[in-house]
Chain A
Amino acid sequence: MSTSLVSASLDRPVDECLRLMEQHRIYHLLVLEASGDARQRYRGMISISDVLRVMALDEKSRADLLKAFAFERTPPH
């Protein structure tokens, strides 16, 4: 069990989380959520593959949008 806890809050950008994992050479982060009484609630773990998956999906949707814009427009008459 590792007790050097590396955590991130829910509003942390995913690319920062990736850098954090890289810096600490770890594959999982604790996810914490601020709760009303200044404490932080444990929301589970996020793995490096979870982070990479959403980043890849985000890049793909951007690429699809660009592709649709560039190649699928009806040519003007």
Chain B
Amino acid sequence: MTLQDAIGSRTDVYAVSESLTVHQAARYLRERQVRAVGVVDEHGRVVGVLSQSDISDKIAAENVCPDWTRVAEMRRS
């Protein structure tokens, strides 16, 4: 049994651009009911993963405004 079996016939691939604001990205996660999504740069390359816990830890818990912060600014190793 491989990842192909786990992914099945899934046709939608979700990703957000790193230029989106955190507010926009959070809405994207909520609308699609997913907890994490790939982050792509301007060339469409995957540069990171954004999860609900990132938003909770780095934005909400730090009292950072999600509308003034871009996903790209949330980079951590």
- Provide the residues of chain A in CB contact with B3, threshold 8 Å: 8-12, 14, 17, 31, 46
Select one of B12, B15, B50 contacting A1, CB under 8 A: B50
Contact of B36 (CB < 8 Å), options: A3, A11, A27: A27
Task: Give chain B's interface residue range (CB within 8 Å of chain A).
Answer: 20 to 34
A27 touches B35 (CB 8 A): yes
**Across-interface contacts of B14 in A (CB, < 8 A):** 44-45
**Which secondary structure dominates chain A's binding surface?**
mixed
Residues of B within 8 A of A2 (CB): 48-51, 54, 76
Question: Considering residues B1, B10, B12, B35, which has the most beta carbons from chain A within 10 angstroms of its beta carbon?
Answer: B1
Considering only CB atoms, which chain B residue lies closest to A41 in the complex?
B13
Question: With the chains together, A64 CA to B72 CA distance in Å?
Answer: 49
Q: Does B63 contact A (CB under 8 A)?
A: no
- B58 nearest in chain A by CB position: A1
Contacting residues of chain B (29-47) with chain A, CB-CB under 8 angstroms: 34-40, 46-47
A-B pairs, top 10 by smallest CB distance, nearest first, are A1-B48, A1-B74, A28-B36, A44-B13, A54-B6, A10-B4, A3-B48, A1-B50, A42-B46, A2-B49
